[in-house]
Amino acid sequence: MAEHPLDLTRPAPLPARVRLVKRALDIVSASIALVLLSPVMVGIAVAIRLDSDGAAIFRQKRLRPGPKGEPVEFWMYKFRSMRPPSPGAGPAWATSSSEQERITRLGALLRKHRLDELPQFINVLLGDMSLVGPRPEVRFFADQLDLQIPGYNDRHMVLRPGITGWAQVQAGYAGDEVANREKLVHDLAYVAHLYRLRTYLRMETKVIVRTFRVVLTGHGAK
């Protein structure tokens, strides 16, 4: 992570009570979701295998906070929504033409309604992610954005990345520096609500409610 002369955007550690309640809600929510949605997830996996060649589950290394708040990598799971990249192709934003061309017909539908992210409930149970938090980023893009946007990676120092988040429901997918600056503001606004249990629960509920709207309408999908 790039060093910045002033760390004005770096959040303070979260209160222990908020951390415990947030983790407890993550475990309960992810467990219930995996039980209730298991038939849907099996159906999606079968449909992916029938729609195109390749495994149903896609995994990719993303970043989460380590023991001292430093960014460390973990394997994030998703339903595969794209065809394999061309040999030698490097990382690219999902909005690029090359990435858009790789999206399968079924993958476009899964992405629109965020159904490709259902396997991330497993990541929540493993402790790598939270139900609500900043978007988990690939190290390549995180390092680039941290050089362009002071404090970009600091939002991960106190908070696990989320399946959904205030920035995701407010601003959708970010595929460039300008959009990521906007999403950083929303991420830090979310973190600011986590220092009191009452404001945390109010914000968490608001994000979940808006996430259901996004799932139903497909707002902000790429």
- DSSP-assigned states of every residue in 10-45: PPPPPPHHHHHHHHHHHHHHHHHHHHHHHHHHHHHH
pLDDT score of 68: 78
What is the pLDDT, as a whole number, of residue 81? 93
* Predicted pLDDT at 39: 97
Instruction: Report CA-CA distances (Å) from 131 to 119, 148, 164, 200.
Output: 12, 28, 6, 13
As a whole number of angstroms, the distance between CA 111 and CA 198 comes to 33
Which amino acid would we find at residue 115?
L
Looking at residue 188, its pLDDT comes to 87
Q: What is the pLDDT of residue 181?
A: 85
Q: How do 57-65 and 71-79 pair as beta strands?
A: antiparallel
Contacts of 114 (CB under 8 A, 6+ apart): 164, 211, 214, 215, 221
Instruction: State the 10-residue block means of pLDDT for the chain, 222 residues long.
Output: 47 89 97 97 96 92 86 94 70 61 90 94 97 91 84 77 93 76 88 94 95 82 56
How many C-beta atoms lie closer than 10 Å to residue 217's C-beta? 11
pLDDT at 183: 87
Gap between the Cα atoms of 207 and 163, Å rounded:
11
Q: Say how far apart CA 191 and CA 172 lie, in whole Å.
A: 18
> pTM for the whole thing?
0.86
Pairwise CA distance, residues 129 & 83, whole Å? 26
Q: Helix (H, G, I), strand (E, B), or coil: what is residue 73?
A: strand
